Amino acid sequence: MFEVYDLSFMWSLSNITQTINSWLNQTFSPTWALIFEMVIVGICVISLFAILGLVLVLMERKVSAWMQIRLGPNRVGPKGMLQSFADTLKLLVKEGLTPNGADKFLFNLAPFIAMIVAMLLMAPIAFARDFKMWDMNIGVLYVTAVSSISVISILMAGWASNNKYSLMGAMRSGAQIVSYELSAGLAILSIVVLTGSLNLNDIIQSQANGWWIFKGHIPVLISFVIFIIAVTAETNRAPFDLAEAESELTAGFHTEYSGMKFALFFLAEYVNVFIVCAIGATLFLGGWMPFHIGNWQGFNHIMDYIPSSIWFFGKTFFLIFLIMWFRWTFPRLRIDQLLNLEWKYLLPISMFNIILVTAMAILGWHF
């Protein structure tokens, strides 16, 4: 078993949730209190999605400008900070078109499925200490299972558009996501083996005396690198954006989408980047857990005074920056190179690495 630390003096947001829960149960019947709690959570998730879309699009543009030694957005608002609002307004007033010959029901349903999957993935993530939507004991299994559904929306959009470019992009995306899920799953499994639990809260607690990326030695570091590569491919981010390769397929599976339907796909991509980085931060970097070093009690207590939500969002946005760094560093791969990378290199390395992690867990060689 892992050493248990006294975290009672750390900043916690549980008082907010307990106060709201108590007031609702005192004011309404248990059924209505539960319904109102679900509505509040839904509004919070939708608001978070809107904020993430605005922040991450601006971050993407600023990071790309910095990488390419240029200014980036600098017209709308101070230093271009309101550029994302202008883009949102543009998409709101654009007309949503449905091409002739398209399956209208599936064409309109696809972007909503992409957003629904992203919302479902938010459920087990701990945004701060004692602050999550659903503390389930199979959180890791839930995340890997639900994330697999996202490929359905892409295949649905490509087929229903009645466009050869869209269909080609959707088929590429399906092959890509299904392939890279294997390596991502094995990378996640390495942490499950070390902690002996599928509960994300247990995984965070197991890192109270050090994050797994540090105390798991080289095998966990290899798992982390494979995880970042695999989730970059799963979210269709460059250099793995073959599903929407502009030079070949116009815009891939969302070529025929415009207005808010296109905006939903655009938003879902950035929200999915946030979610996979949040999962990576939880598994490998301790989630909301502060940076602790063994028995250095003085240093550990100082780290504990930094709010847990700042730790979580700081780690998550660091991984987001890392994925953006990939985009503006590496050229786009061909589809055969992309699949060769997974099946000839990442998957064999992942399978060998999981054996090393298992041996390390059985022999207790981790810190």
| Angle formed by the axes of helices 164-195 and 259-284, nearest 10° | 20
Q: Return the number of other C-beta atoms located less than 10 Å from residue 182's C-beta.
A: 16
Identity of the amino acid at 155 = L
What's the rounded Cα separation, in Å, for the pair 26 and 29?
Answer: 8
- Percent of the chain clearing pLDDT 90 (strictly above): 31
DSSP E strands in the chain: the ranges are: 126-128, 131-132
What pLDDT is attached to residue 306? 86
Considering just the CA atoms, what is the radius of gyration of the chain in Å? Answer: 22
Which residues face 320 on adjacent strands?
none
What's the rounded Cα separation, in Å, for the pair 205 and 248?
Answer: 47
Please write the tens of the pLDDT for every residue from 164-196: 888 888 888 888 888 899 999 999 999 999 998
Candidate from 97-101, 145-149, 277-281 with smallest mean pLDDT: 97-101
Identity of the amino acid at 11 = W
pLDDT bracket for residue 9 (50, 70, 90): very low
Instruction: State the DSSP string of 281-341.
Output: HHHHS-TT-----TT-HHHHHHHHTS-HHHHHHHHHHHHHHHHHHHHTTSPPPPHHHHHHI
pLDDT bracket for residue 55 (50, 70, 90): very high
Please write the tens of the pLDDT for every residue from 39-54: 998 898 889 988 998 9
What pLDDT is attached to residue 245? 65
What predicted TM-score, i.e. pTM, was given to this entire model?
A: 0.90
**Exposed/middle/buried for 110, CB within 10 Å: 0-12, 13-18, 19+?**
buried
Q: Return the number of other C-beta atoms located less than 10 Å from residue 161's C-beta.
A: 26
Question: Structural domain boundaries of the chain?
Answer: 12-93, 95-363
- Mean pLDDT score of the chain: 86
Please write the tens of the pLDDT for every residue from 235-251: 888 788 876 666 666 66
What's the rounded Cα separation, in Å, for the pair 102 and 167?
Answer: 12
